[in-house]
């Protein structure tokens, strides 16, 4: 048995970030990971020989640049390359593209609806305003609105001041924005159904909600609030796949003297005299530490790692009722060549970005209806990318890797567990859809890795396969994430902390939850905080 | 754009002393027709549009509900009840949203009209040379129609310079013919194409403001204090409170009562180094404003600027200083230059308004 100052359960990118800051502060830190590899949902694995897959997450924008810089991730091998393009292709072969030049984008929208072309400006101004508001909050611990501690009051005053910067109207707008549906929100700007459908995808990715469900407007913001080199809303590829993010953080962590043990599933958090004493793994090892940090989602953390009898019933109820519904799946496809999309013609730069096959909001909602009915969408929403067009390190020359994020995919099929047969049915639904828009696609397929919520839960440990470790709705955001009263990364037992995407500011490859949790732990240990403040922008 | 300083005067003076043409086609144009065209425009725009008779043009601004300027532009009353609204920024979204409850038709026809600015002392002579007989009789802000080729040429005595000048409007199919005619017949009058920088100099000399430069269109402002009201842009004369209702009226009344936050001023700055983006200081070295546009004025031989000042600074006689950074052979230097608040345009020759217009 070995003694540590702190043990982090789970080597997801947030667990690693948390561990890195604790180790940098001089603590003796151990990370225990259940799988033989690290990274959680930010992982790259060579499944087909010569092909590096981004098995789960596939694009990068949310990763806080403050942390990227502070942990010197570039020196540890991370490079994020922005990509342009992105296009929606309709059933009739019409296209709606994304362009980085504002005027070109306006013209593209105007081609479908002249007024919408002009409205695009107003739309982006309003969305950017919301981004400017939320971005400085990402690297801050949410204040507890019921507390009278000077620090909470200071933070509440800060929040209030941020609000006034954008004017009175902004308070109304924000409350509406956080609770309205993406369809209603887009309806305040656009007339064209295709434009609305094109923009609505970001409102439902990772959520068990449809485009008409209240709360989906915020989900869009969650996908816009990141940046690549200051370009807000831009996305990029991590060279070498998303595992490169976790690997770079792990390398920084190790450079501070940190230790990682893989193949070490933690079975139980040891609680003694009302405070944590260490952890026990499934293979019979015990590790001691006065601080234990969980990178797992809150539901799994408190219903699986704890003896529920050690927790009070109110808390157990919150953990059990935590909203973490599976809604997504993914196909990772090794290709022997580049698929052609006749609607785009040859060499169209739009194909470097996300490709969608959509026509209307109605089609998006029908896809959600299937989920509610307990089956995968018959006409799913796909977010399809071919990262190997930008990143040559992913495949052998001339070959390609296609990442296909799919929505909606339920955690159970009509209330029962997924079977292999269901999984094949789901796979074929997706391949058939792509095949309808790309005639040579199917002939290029070499290998397909299929992830339904079942695989995501089994391999990454995400409850129900929910990609964000918990729905991003108002009842589970900011000081309500994961539970009211527990948003400051401290658990219900002394010495226990949470650092995963289930905490503020939520899911995505962001590293902010891990860093924020480290700040709180160091505060409790009365050590100087090494975690950088978020950059401010007046 | 970086030029050797001593050439600047020479280069920019030539284009607009004789007379120049500038392609206005990309300017945003909207055609507004229908029974309620006038009430709609009167609701949209802060000034009284009923005073702009058919065949006349008016400069105007329009505001959001908070009385902040969305854009400035010109309203052309082409024929009874038939209007064209021109602006720099795209407005179809705002116009359509403002039209609820009005029986109007709004069409963006930017690409269906070719437009050319013809500005400078000999501009009227060139017009006459291409067959616009009687063009000299047009008063400032008048519109007239002349036969051209087998169609019609619309001419307005308007422009974005402080000189005598016209804007020519034609079916794009005849645009090349018009251009050729102007350059064939205009040779003796020194016609030359004009670039954006020359236009920039001319509009600052005239004291005209520009969206995205001297003010941020209110619908594009992310932060609350970045937009400006008409009063804050020295355009209070365009606000007509005798109209019972127009966008932003209530907020503007409140502003008139409470006072404005900013003031737009014209500055004459000592020395010859353009004060681009300079901070303006008071005598105690507090920042009291910023320059929004600045150029050396070849016409007035002055170092001129437009600046947005915090109230109450910018009164005539205030002691103000501009902090100017300039570069010579890659070396940066800084000067503090005294500023004088100027009232009216920097360059305002009598020929600009004289009717009949002179030949040069
Ligand atoms: C399919 C998919 C696509 C996504 N796409 C994107 C995207 O493109 N861009 C983006 O920004 N985000 C994306 N996301 C979201 C993002 O990947 C996650 O929110 C983020 O990676 C979660 O990181 P984490 O460190 O908080 O937790 P996780 O990555 O969930 O890490 C938890 C770790 O704990 C380990 N663990 C679990 N149980 C135990 C145990 N008992 N003992 C020890 N270890 C254990 C797990 O193996 C895992 O390594 C996607 C997610 C998924 C699933």
What number is the average pLDDT over the span A94-103? 93
Strand-pair category, A29-32 with A259-261:
parallel
Res B10 pLDDT > 80: no
Nearest CA to ligand 1 atom 35: A10
pLDDT for res A538: 66
pLDDT for res B195: 85
Strand residues in B121-199 grouped as ranges (E):
143-148, 151-156, 165-170, 191-193
Q: Is B46 exposed, middle or buried (0-12, 13-18, 19+ CB in 10 A)?
A: buried
Q: Model confidence over A14-50: pLDDT tens digits?
A: 999 999 999 999 999 999 999 999 999 999 999 999 9
For the ranges A29-33, B5-9, B148-152, which has the lowest average pLDDT?
B5-9
Q: How far is B103 from B34, CA to CA, in rounded Å?
A: 6
Q: Which tokens hold the place of A188?
A: 């305040």
Say yes or no: A366 contacts chain B, CB-CB below 8 A: no
pLDDT for res A243: 98
How close is the Cα of A464 to the center of ligand 1, in Å? 12
Res A403 pLDDT > 80: yes
From the options 3.30.360.30, 3.30.1360.120, 1.10.132.20, 3.40.50.720, give the CATH code of B11-205.
3.30.1360.120
How close is the Cα of A534 to the center of ligand 1, in Å? 23
A115 with B96: Cβ contact below 8 A: yes
Say yes or no: A115 contacts chain B, CB-CB below 8 A: yes
Res A316 pLDDT > 90: yes
Q: How far is A534 from A162, CA to CA, in rounded Å?
A: 14
Which of A263 and B6 is assigned the larger pLDDT?
Answer: A263
What number is the average pLDDT over the span A75-97? 96
Q: Model confidence over A155-173: pLDDT tens digits?
A: 999 988 888 888 888 999 9
% of chain A exceeding 70 in pLDDT: 100
Which of A115, A132, A164 faces B93 most closely, judged by CB atoms? A115
The answer to whether the Cα torsion of A296, A298, A300, A306 is positive or negative is positive
Domains of chain A with bracketed CATH:
3-80+239-323+469-530 (3.50.50.60)
Q: How confident is the model at residue B7 (pLDDT cuts 50, 70, 90)?
A: very low
Pocket of ligand 1 contains residue A460 by CB under 6 Å: yes
How close is the Cα of A471 to the center of ligand 1, in Å? 14
How confident is the prediction for chain B on average, in pLDDT? 92
pLDDT for res A335: 98
Q: How confident is the model at residue B19 (pLDDT cuts 50, 70, 90)?
A: low
Beta carbons of B229 and B68 less than 8 angstroms apart: yes
What number is the average pLDDT over the span B256-284? 97
pLDDT for res B143: 98
Q: Model confidence over B86-120: pLDDT tens digits?
A: 999 999 999 999 999 999 999 999 989 999 999 99
Q: How confident is the model at residue B22 (pLDDT cuts 50, 70, 90)?
A: confident
Q: Model confidence over A472-530: pLDDT tens digits?
A: 999 999 999 999 999 999 999 999 999 999 999 999 999 999 999 999 999 999 999 89
Q: Model confidence over A275-315: pLDDT tens digits?
A: 999 999 999 999 999 999 999 999 999 999 999 888 999 99
Q: How far is B82 from B104, CA to CA, in rounded Å?
A: 10
From the options 2.40.30.110, 2.30.30.40, 3.40.47.10, 3.30.565.10, give the CATH code of B261-346.
2.40.30.110
Q: How far is B148 from B128, CA to CA, in rounded Å?
A: 12
B222 with A122: Cβ contact below 8 A: no
Q: Which tokens hold the place of A201?
A: 């995808």
Atom of ligand 1 nearest to the CA of A468: 19
- Cross-strand partners of A334: A401, A447
Q: How confident is the model at residue B12 (pLDDT cuts 50, 70, 90)?
A: very low
Extract long-range pairs of A182-188: CB within 8 Å, 24+ residues apart. Answer: A182/A211, A182/A216, A182/A217, A182/A219, A182/A220, A183/A211, A183/A212, A183/A216, A183/A361, A184/A212, A184/A217, A185/A217, A185/A220, A186/A123
Beta carbons of A328 and A467 less than 8 angstroms apart: yes
Res B6 pLDDT > 50: no
Partners of residue B223 in chain A, C-beta under 8 Å: 132, 165-166, 538
pLDDT for res A68: 98
DSSP B110: G
B219 with A115: Cβ contact below 8 A: no
pLDDT for res B1: 26
Q: Model confidence over A71-85: pLDDT tens digits?
A: 999 999 999 999 999
Which of B66, B220, B223 faces A121 most closely, judged by CB atoms? B220
Q: What are the residues whose beta carbons fall under 8 Å from the beta carbon of A371, sequence distance 6 or more?
A: A208, A327, A377, A408, A409, A410
Nearest CA to ligand 1 atom 48: A40
Q: Which tokens hold the place of A152?
A: 């909470």
Res B122 pLDDT > 60: yes
CA angle A464, A485, A154 (to 5 degrees): 125
Partners of residue B220 in chain A, C-beta under 8 Å: 121-122, 125
Q: Model confidence over B203-216: pLDDT tens digits?
A: 999 999 999 999 99
Q: How confident is the model at residue A231 (pLDDT cuts 50, 70, 90)?
A: confident
Res B75 pLDDT > 90: yes
DSSP B235: -
Strand-pair category, A328-335 with A400-407:
antiparallel
Q: Model confidence over A173-220: pLDDT tens digits?
A: 999 999 999 999 999 999 999 999 999 999 999 999 999 999 999 999
B92 with A114: Cβ contact below 8 A: yes
B interface residues, A as partner, C-beta within 8 Å: 66, 90-94, 96, 108, 219-224
CA angle B342, B346, B351 (to 5 degrees): 140
Pocket of ligand 1 contains residue A295 by CB under 6 Å: yes
Res B58 pLDDT > 70: yes
From A119's Cα to the closest Cα of chain B, the distance in A is: 5
Domain ranges across chain B: 11-205, 261-346
CA angle A229, A235, A241 (to 5 degrees): 105
Residues B61-90 as b/e (b if ≥16 CB within 10 A, e otherwise) read bbbbebbbbbbbbbbbbbeeeebbbbbbbb
Q: How confident is the model at residue B9 (pLDDT cuts 50, 70, 90)?
A: very low
| B11-205 and B261-346: identical CATH topology | no
Q: How far is A506 from A473, CA to CA, in rounded Å?
A: 10
Q: How far is A279 from A266, CA to CA, in rounded Å?
A: 7
Res B3 pLDDT > 80: no
Strand residues in A300-372 grouped as ranges (E):
328-335, 355-357
How close is the Cα of A37 to the center of ligand 1, in Å? 12
Q: What are the residues whose beta carbons fall under 8 Å from the beta carbon of B57, sequence distance 6 or more?
A: B74, B75, B76, B77, B141, B142, B143, B156, B158
pLDDT for res A168: 83
CA atoms within 13 A on the CB side of A294: 35
Q: How far is A107 from A136, CA to CA, in rounded Å?
A: 33
Give, in order, the Cα–Cα distances in Å from A335 to each of A29, A347, A446. 41, 18, 5
Res B17 pLDDT > 60: no
- Cross-strand partners of B308: B264, B290
How confident is the prediction for chain A on average, in pLDDT? 96
pLDDT for res A1: 62
pLDDT for res A47: 95
Q: How far is A419 from B98, CA to CA, in rounded Å?
A: 56
φ and ψ at residue B76, rounded to 5 degrees = -105, 120
φ and ψ at residue B74, rounded to 5 degrees = -125, 140
């Amino acid at each position: 048995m070995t003694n540590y100052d702190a043990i982090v359960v789970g080597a997801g990118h947030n667990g690693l970030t948390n561990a890195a800051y604790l180790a940098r502060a001089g603590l003796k830190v151990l990370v225990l990971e259940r799988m033989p590899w690290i990274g959680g949902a930010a992982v790259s694995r060579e499944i087909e020989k010569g092909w590096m897959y981004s098995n789960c997450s596939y694009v990068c924008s949310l990763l806080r640049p403050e942390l990227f810089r502070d942990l010197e991730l570039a020196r540890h091998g991370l490079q994020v390359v922005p990509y342009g393009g992105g296009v929606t292709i309709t059933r009739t072969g019409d296209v709606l593209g994304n362009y980085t030049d504002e005027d070109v984008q306006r013209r593209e929208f105007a081609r479908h609806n002249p007024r919408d072309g002009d409205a695009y400006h107003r739309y982006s101004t309003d969305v950017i305003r919301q981004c400017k508001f939320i971005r400085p909050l990402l690297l801050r611990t949410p204040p507890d609105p019921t507390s009278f501690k000077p620090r909470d009051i200071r933070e509440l005053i800060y929040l209030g001041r941020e609000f006034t910067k954008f004017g009175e109207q902004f308070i109304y707008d924000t409350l509406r924005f956080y609770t309205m549906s993406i369809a209603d929100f887009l309806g305040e700007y656009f007339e064209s159904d295709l434009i609305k459908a094109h923009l609505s995808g970001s409102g439902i990715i990772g959520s068990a909600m449809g485009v008409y469900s209240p709360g989906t407007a915020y989900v869009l913001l969650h996908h816009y609030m990141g940046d690549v080199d200051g370009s807000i809303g831009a996305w990029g590829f991590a060279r070498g796949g998303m595992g490169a993010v976790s690997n770079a953080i792990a390398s920084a962590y190790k450079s501070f003297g940190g230790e990682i043990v893989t193949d070490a599933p933690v079975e139980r958090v040891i609680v003694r005299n009302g405070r944590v004493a260490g952890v026990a793994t499934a293979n019979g090892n015990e590790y001691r530490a006065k601080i234990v940090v969980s990178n797992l989602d809150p539901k799994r953390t408190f219903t699986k790692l704890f003896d529920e009898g050690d927790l009070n019933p109110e808390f157990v109820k919150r953990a059990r009722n935590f909203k973490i519904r599976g809604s997504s799946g993914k196909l990772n496809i090794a290709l022997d060549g580049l698929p052609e999309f006749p609607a785009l013609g040859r060499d169209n730069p739009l194909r470097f970005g996300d490709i969608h096959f959509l026509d209307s909001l109605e089609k998006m909602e029908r896809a959600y209806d299937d989920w509610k009915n307990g089956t995968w969408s018959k006409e799913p929403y796909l977010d399809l990318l071919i990262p190997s067009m930008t990143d040559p390190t992913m495949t052998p020359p001339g070959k390609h890797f296609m990442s296909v994020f799919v929505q909606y995919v339920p955690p159970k099929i009509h209330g029962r567990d997924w079977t292999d047969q269901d999984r094949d049915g789901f796979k074929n639904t997706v391949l058939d859809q792509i095949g309808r828009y790309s005639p040579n696609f199917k002939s290029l397929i070499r290998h397909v890795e299929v992830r339904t919520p079942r695989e995501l839960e089994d391999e990454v440990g995400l409850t129900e396969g929910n990609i964000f470790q918990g729905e991003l709705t108002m009842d589970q955001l900011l000081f309500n994430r994961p539970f009211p009263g527990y948003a400051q990364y401290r658990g219900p037992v002394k010495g226990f902390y949470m650092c995963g995407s289930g905490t503020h500011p939520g899911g995505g490859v962001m590293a902010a939850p891990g860093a924020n949790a480290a700040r709180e732990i160091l505060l409790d240990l009365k050590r100087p905080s090494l975690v950088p403040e978020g950059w401010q922008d007046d | 754009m970086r030029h050797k300083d001593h050439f600047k005067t020479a280069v920019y003076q030539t284009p607009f002393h004789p007379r120049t043409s500038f392609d206005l086609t990309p300017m945003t144009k909207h055609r507004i027709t229908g029974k309620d065209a006038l009430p709609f425009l009167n609701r949209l725009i802060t000034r009284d549009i009923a005073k702009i008779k058919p065949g006349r043009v008016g400069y105007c601004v329009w505001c959001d509900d908070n009385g902040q300027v969305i854009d400035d532009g010109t309203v052309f009353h082409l024929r009874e009840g038939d209007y064209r609204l021109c602006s720099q920024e795209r407005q179809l979204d705002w116009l359509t949203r403002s039209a609820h409850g009005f029986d109007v038709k709004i069409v963006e026809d930017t690409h269906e009209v070719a437009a050319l600015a013809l500005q400078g002392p000999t501009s009227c002579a060139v017009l006459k040379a291409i067959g616009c007989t009687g063009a000299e009789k047009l008063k400032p802000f008048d519109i007239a129609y002349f036969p051209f080729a087998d169609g019609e040429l619309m001419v307005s005595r308007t422009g974005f310079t402080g000189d005598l000048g016209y804007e020519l409007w034609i079916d794009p199919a005849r645009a090349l013919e018009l251009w050729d005619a102007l350059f064939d017949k205009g040779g003796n009058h020194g016609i030359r194409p004009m670039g954006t920088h020359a236009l920039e100099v001319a509009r600052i000399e005239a004291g005209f403001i520009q969206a995205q430069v001297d003010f941020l269109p209110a619908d594009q402002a992310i932060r609350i204090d970045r937009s400006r009201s008409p009063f804050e842009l020295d355009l209070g004369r365009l606000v007509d409170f005798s109209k019972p209702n127009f966008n932003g009226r209530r907020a503007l009344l409140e502003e008139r009562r409470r006072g404005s936050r900013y003031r737009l001023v014209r500055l004459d700055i000592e020395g010859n180094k353009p004060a681009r983006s300079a901070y303006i200081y008071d005598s105690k070295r507090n920042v009291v404003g910023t320059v929004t546009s600045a150029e050396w004025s070849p016409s007035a031989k002055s170092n001129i600027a437009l600046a947005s000042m915090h109230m109450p600074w910018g009164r005539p006689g205030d002691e103000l200083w501009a902090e100017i950074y300039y570069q010579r052979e890659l070396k940066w230097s800084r000067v503090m230059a005294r500023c004088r608040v100027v009232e009216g345009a920097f360059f305002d020759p009598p020929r600009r308004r004289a009717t009949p217009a002179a030949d040069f």
